[in-house]
Chain A
């Protein structure tokens, strides 16, 4: 649980709480990627993601004194980002993920990226409820365990596990479909 190593960003947090701007900049740079990615994959478009990211960090400015550690900061940012995104999505009917190939990528660009999996994942994200989407992202983007996800979203842990189970089942079915399609392609 605790390997004994101090987090250097804890010191930056202490300085930022005193009003040091460079320290605040370091913290923003350290966390903006995670916040932006969560916002993007929750809301679907770059513009909305950027707006939300900015709002979250502006809100942080007023709440810095209550943050105790860099780990706590990460928890706070994830919680605020997902909760605000869920609130926004409740006011909209359906997630629309616009094509971003020419702009910023929606998925991580890996050498062995699977475009078919990414398409299925995009479809899955579109179909999921905001809460289920948040659970999936916190699990697989942020690598949180179900207990931490439950705490972040104020959700019963069984609900978290249920969302994860259903999402993975859907992806598994789609993957089996992908594999069958590939086998047919290779045999023809």
Chain B
């Protein structure tokens, strides 16, 4: 009876997913973690619009370049960190193995001495 109730409670309390809308917003918010967006500016005057268009296009191109560079730097950082972690693992295991070797050697030498004593050497 007790186990049955517990399993039914467990089944009822299986985790439920939040709404898809919330999930998307949550992901976006956590990843961005940006400060509040600046207020939108007034539209520029008609005479300044062609210049603004070029400026906007240049800015967009710069943004794409920056994102690309950022991704490249992230990949580089990941690569460096991964290789450093690998180096540390190898070093740690090498040192451990070396110290184990000291212990094994001591045990072996002790065993050899005991055998020699027994055989009257």
In their complex, do chains A and B touch, with some C-beta pair under 8 Å? yes
Indicate if the CB atoms of A19 and B12 lie closer than 8 Å. Answer: no
CB distance from B66 to the nearest CB of A (A): 15
Q: A18-B77, A20-B78 are in contact. Are A117 and B12 (CB under 8 A)?
A: yes
In the assembled complex, the Cα of A50 lies from the Cα of B17 at a distance in Å of 11
Is A151 close to B, CB under 8 A? no
Query: How would you classify the secondary structure of chain B's contact residues: helix, strand, loop or mixed?
Result: helix
Contact with B along A115-154 (1 / 0, CB 8 A): 0011001000000000000000100110100000000000
* Least distance between B105 CB and chain A CB atoms (Å): 30
CB interface residues, B 72-115, toward A, < 8 Å: 74, 77-78, 81, 85
Q: A29, B27: Cβ atoms under 8 Å?
A: yes
Are B13 and A108 in touch, CB under 8 angstroms? yes
Contact of A61 among B27, B30, B78, B85 (CB under 8 A): B30
Residue contact A143 to B31, C-beta cutoff 8 Å: no
Contact B31 A21 (CB under 8 A): yes
Asked whether, in the complex, the Cβ of A107 is within 8 Å of the Cβ of B16, the reply is: yes
In Å, the complex CA distance between A24 and B9 comes to 32
A88 within 8 A of B: no
Give the contact-size bracket for chain B.
Answer: 20 to 34
Alpha-carbon distance A40/B22, docked complex (angstroms)? 13
Q: Which of chain B's residues have a CB closer than 8 A to the CB of A34?
A: 15
A residues 39-65 near B (Cβ < 8 Å) are 40-41, 49-50, 53-54, 57-58, 60-61
Binding site for B on A (CB under 8 A): 14-15, 18-21, 24-25, 28-29, 32-34, 36-37, 40-41, 49-50, 53-54, 57-58, 60-61, 103-110, 113-114, 117-118, 121, 137, 140-141, 143, 168, 171-172, 175
Instruction: Pick 24 A–B contacts, CB within 8 A, sort by A.
Output: A14-B81, A18-B74, A21-B31, A28-B26, A32-B23, A34-B15, A36-B18, A37-B13, A37-B16, A41-B13, A50-B18, A54-B29, A57-B30, A104-B17, A104-B18, A107-B13, A107-B16, A108-B16, A117-B8, A117-B12, A140-B6, A141-B15, A171-B9, A172-B5
Q: Which residues of B contact A (CB under 8 A)?
A: 1-2, 5-6, 8-19, 22-23, 26-27, 29-31, 33, 74, 77-78, 81, 85
